[in-house]
Amino acid sequence: MSADTDQPTTDYGAKDIQVLEGLDPVRKRPGMYIGSTGLAGLHHLIWEVVDNSVDEAMAGHCSRIGVTLLADGGCEVSDDGRGIPVDPYPSGPHKGKSAAEVVLTVLHAGGKFGGDGYKVSGGLHGVGVSVVNALSERLHIEIDRDGKRYAQDYGKGGEPQGKMSVIGDTPKRGRTTGTTVTFWPDPTIFHAEGTEFVARTVLERLQTMAFLNKGLEIVFTDQREGREQTVTYQYKGGLVDFVKHLNASKEPLFAKVCQYEDADDEGQMLDIALQWNTGYHEGIHGYANGISTIEGGMHVEGFRTALTSVMNKYARAKNLLKEKDDNLTGEDIREGLTAIISVKLREPQFEGQTKAKLGNVPMRSFVQKATNERLAEWLDENPTEANKVVKKAISAAQARMAAKKARETVRRKTALSGAGMPDKLRDCSSRDPGESELFIVEGDSAGGTAINARDPRTQAILPIRGKILNVERARIDKMLKNNEIQALITAIGAGVGEDFNVEKARYHKVIALCDADVDGSHIRTLLLTFFFRQMRDLVEAGYIYIAQPPLYSTEVGKEKVYLKDDAAKDRFLAERPNHRKEFQRLKGLGEMDWEELRATTINAETRTLLQVTVAEAAEADMIMSVLMGDDVESRRNFITTNARDVRNLDF
């Protein structure tokens, strides 16, 4: 540039400037590329490599992807695609390197070669395999193409160890083209949580990928010692199978699944499937380029808008709505709906707190238009099913109005009786929610003991009797009529359901204190379900806890010793091999006097509390339904297969 004219002085322009980015920035700030260097980031490496193979599948060139966790800690991802091109660049900054080497050593190289044969799906995972190479201690690639097998190795940080070279011929039968990437994560990068992959995490993601890519076969193999297993996912029905899978633990309102696809010339694609169940909760799951959009976004917005409008039009056309001006709300219509909105697009923009909300505005009208047309068609073609949906929405509307009345009653009661606290509540004297705790205690007698055991300044006790209503089955209007629930809502003081405002909560610790027996665990689960459904923000704020009364007691000399659980008992025995006294299994809170209860369970200095977290709302939604719903069989299956993974729910 010349300073006085601000014009280029030669025809040397931006097109000629080659910025070669090495992999150093990735090792300096890994979080920028993979989100974290914890377990989530570690698994991100797998998603990144698998996404490339899925792209090849989406382009129609790959039908099988294998993911293998090797006994030595590595991860191998193979596909039967065309194989990444290996011919050397004839000129330019990468002269002599193969395209594959460029993909593995140059940041953001993915979409920039191979003409339009290869489009990177982009998004959160779309940072490229070079990032995986940069964060690995070692990486090996093998490519089958043109009858030859090519291979290349990379060392720590993605340093090439020699050139891409032919190591033999491709097998004469079976898979003759494809790419296999094997990497060993660098332990100096993932030092905090280690480099051990979690099979369940990988399986969940691969299953979702298989649902989202109809027909694609994904084979997971764990070769690690003692954990050997092989699982194959392949869904001929794609999203139809996905929706059926999600509704399997519930009772579908009808067997049919509504499904439609669309694409335009801007590269926008959609694939949507939906089915209602007889439950009351909404489960709309959005994906953009295979990435879960937990916070929703334009695709989900477009779907919801169209759904509300189509259903109202249909109900009105068929004279199913009594009042002329009475519309079904979106919420009424979405009650019991399970839907998958999967879209694909160029350059997705992920926004929101967790970068899990799709921001591309044109996607809204694209989904809206397709849903307006195709869902309306589906309703016309399936009148029996359409009728059931409308009926369900109408009854949801009635329940909504009844619930509003019930809420008003609760509110009025609160206003009338002065401070308005329930009779059974023994409140604490502090008015600072930050230091106040509410113990919900099962049974009046244990309640009495807890009242003596507490610190009356900061600890409130609310005894509840019997089993509170099963909230998964009960609609909110019924639930709100229940005395125990009313007392709970009033004591917490922050409203309920859509009116709930966590900032008004009177306690920042709400602690379920239940017996260590079957009834106790049932009541605890019911309480958690209620909090999850109706006071979700309380769970998300980390205000819900589970008290842990001890399971055993024994005597050492004259002193009574309490042991929290079997592990504590084992530790105790290991330390005192000569212990001869009996262990008593404590069934109920009632077996302890108030001093014992204080020491073991209530006193903040000596107790242990479990904090209840909702890490994945969608996951928790399913767990709650399985645990509380009507399908006993799936409940039993779920508990036997996942018992160790649902520790947060502690049933």
Catalytic residue IDs: 442, 515, 517, 519
Q: Is 236 left (phi over 0), alpha (psi -120 to 50) or beta?
A: alpha
Contact present, 607 and 546 (Cβ < 8 Å) = no
Residue 162 C-beta: closest distance to ligand 0RA, Å:
21
Residue 84 C-beta: closest distance to ligand 0RA, Å:
4
- CA–chain centroid gap for 110, Å, is 28
Interatomic CA distance for residues 75 and 69, integer angstroms = 5
Contact present, 373 and 367 (Cβ < 8 Å) = no
Residue written as token pair 């260590």: 516
- Counting contacts by CB under 6 A, is residue 82 touching ligand 0RA? yes
- Counting contacts by CB under 6 A, is residue 84 touching ligand 0RA? yes
Pick from 118, 150, 197, 439 the residue near ligand 0RA by CB under 6 A: 118
Between 152 and 490, whose beta carbon lies closer to ligand 0RA? 152
Residue among 122, 370, 362 nearest 270 (CA):
370
Interatomic CA distance for residues 139 and 65, integer angstroms = 18
Would you list the DSSP string of 376-440?
Answer: HHHHHH-HHHHHHHHHHHHHHHHHHHHHHHHHHHHHHHHHHSTT---TT-B--S---GGG-EEEE
The neighbouring-strand residues paired with 452 are none
Interatomic CA distance for residues 324 and 392, integer angstroms = 19
- Counting contacts by CB under 6 A, is residue 79 touching ligand 0RA? yes
Between 114 and 237, whose beta carbon lies closer to ligand 0RA? 114
Residue 588 C-beta: closest distance to ligand 0RA, Å:
59
Residue 179 C-beta: closest distance to ligand 0RA, Å:
4
- Counting contacts by CB under 6 A, is residue 179 touching ligand 0RA? yes
Between 53 and 436, whose beta carbon lies closer to ligand 0RA? 53
Between 103 and 370, whose beta carbon lies closer to ligand 0RA? 103
- Counting contacts by CB under 6 A, is residue 52 touching ligand 0RA? yes
Stretch that binds ligand 0RA, among 77-85, 184-192, 417-425, 607-615 (CB under 6 A): 77-85
Between 83 and 290, whose beta carbon lies closer to ligand 0RA? 83
> For residue 95, how many other CB atoms are within 10 A of its CB?
9
- Counting contacts by CB under 6 A, is residue 53 touching ligand 0RA? yes
Stretch that binds ligand 0RA, among 48-56, 146-154, 385-393, 512-520 (CB under 6 A): 48-56
Residue 148 C-beta: closest distance to ligand 0RA, Å:
13
- Counting contacts by CB under 6 A, is residue 117 touching ligand 0RA? yes
Stretch that binds ligand 0RA, among 110-118, 287-295, 497-505, 631-639 (CB under 6 A): 110-118
Residue 118 C-beta: closest distance to ligand 0RA, Å:
3
Pick from 56, 101, 186, 442 the residue near ligand 0RA by CB under 6 A: 56
Q: What are phi and psi of 516, to 5 degrees?
A: -90, 25
Q: Is the dihedral of CA 26, 30, 32, 35 positive or negative?
A: positive
Stretch that binds ligand 0RA, among 114-122, 321-329, 536-544, 579-587 (CB under 6 A): 114-122
Between 180 and 312, whose beta carbon lies closer to ligand 0RA? 180
Interatomic CA distance for residues 222 and 230, integer angstroms = 6
> For residue 391, how many other CB atoms are within 10 A of its CB?
13
Residue 184 C-beta: closest distance to ligand 0RA, Å:
18
Stretch that binds ligand 0RA, among 78-86, 222-230, 366-374, 554-562 (CB under 6 A): 78-86
* Exposed/middle/buried for residue 558 (C-beta within 10 Å: 0-12, 13-18, 19+): exposed
Residue written as token pair 């709309």: 284
Residue 551 C-beta: closest distance to ligand 0RA, Å:
52
Between 54 and 460, whose beta carbon lies closer to ligand 0RA? 54
- Counting contacts by CB under 6 A, is residue 180 touching ligand 0RA? no
Q: Judged by CB under 6 A, how many residues of this single chain contact ligand 0RA?
A: 13
Site for ligand 0RA in 597-616 (CB under 6 A): none
Question: Going edge to edge, which strands form the sheet with 269-276?
Answer: 258-263, 269-276, 337-344, 283-288, 291-292
Residue 291 C-beta: closest distance to ligand 0RA, Å:
18
Between 146 and 645, whose beta carbon lies closer to ligand 0RA? 146
First to last CA, the chain: 70
Stretch that binds ligand 0RA, among 51-59, 86-94, 450-458, 470-478 (CB under 6 A): 51-59
Stretch that binds ligand 0RA, among 4-12, 81-89, 301-309, 530-538 (CB under 6 A): 81-89
- Counting contacts by CB under 6 A, is residue 81 touching ligand 0RA? yes
Q: If you ran DSSP here, which 8-state letter would residue 456 be given?
A: T
The torsion defined by the Cα of 233, 236, 241 and 242, in degrees rounded to 10, comes to 50
Pick from 35, 85, 330, 448 the residue near ligand 0RA by CB under 6 A: 85
Which are the contacts of 329, defined by CB distance < 8 A and separation ≥ 6?
308, 397, 400
Between 90 and 434, whose beta carbon lies closer to ligand 0RA? 90
Q: What are phi and psi of 639, to 5 degrees?
A: -65, -40
Give me the helix-helix angle, 298-317 and 362-381, nearest 10°: 30
Q: Which residues of this protein are in contact with ligand 0RA, per CB under 6 A?
A: 52-53, 56, 79, 81-85, 114, 117-118, 179
